[in-house]
Amino acid sequence: MIDLSSADLDGSHTVARRGGEEVGGAAHKAAQTTNAIFIADLQGIPMAMQQPYKNDEKYLLDRELLSLRYSIERTNAWMDSFRSVLNRFDKTVSSWKGWNLLAFHVIFLKHINRLKKSR
């Protein structure tokens, strides 16, 4: 089910429409955003997320890991299909993180459902 032969990670900037905790400016976005780094397995199933942080903090990532981006980019696209994750309307980080974790569970359940149908 979960393929841990590779764990991919990538960051995401979520627009914080109403401000709130851990919100900062991003040079490439006109709006205030919150950052988080997601970890997904080789199939793109999200497994964990870093504590959200505002944009003025810098994190360095391993260049070799960045070359294996397909599954995590696909996961980010799946996450973008959830409106409450794509646009942060909550003011508290814990609420926004909860929406992300709920999206993780929905993606995983859809994956399990696809596996059942393919048998």
Reported confidence tier of residue 57, pLDDT bands at 50, 70, 90: very low
Distance separating alpha carbons of residues 48 and 41, to the nearest angstrom: 10
The domains of the chain are located at 8-118
- pTM, two decimals, is 0.52
Q: How far apart are CA 93 and CA 112, in angstroms?
A: 29
Do the beta carbons of residue 16 and residue 88 sit within 8 Å?
yes
pLDDT tens digits, one per residue of 6-55 = 777 777 777 777 777 777 766 555 677 777 778 888 888 888 877 766 65
Give the pLDDT of residue 62: 56
Q: Following CA atoms 32, 36, 42, 45 in sequence, which dihedral angle do they give, to the nearest 10 degrees? A: -90
Crossing angle of the two packed helices 93-118 and 70-79, in degrees rounded to 10? 110
Could you tell me what percentage of the chain is helix, strand and coil, using 3-state DSSP and rounding each to the nearest 5?
Answer: 35, 25, 40
More confident residue, 78 or 64: 78
Residue bearing the bigger pLDDT, 54 or 93: 93
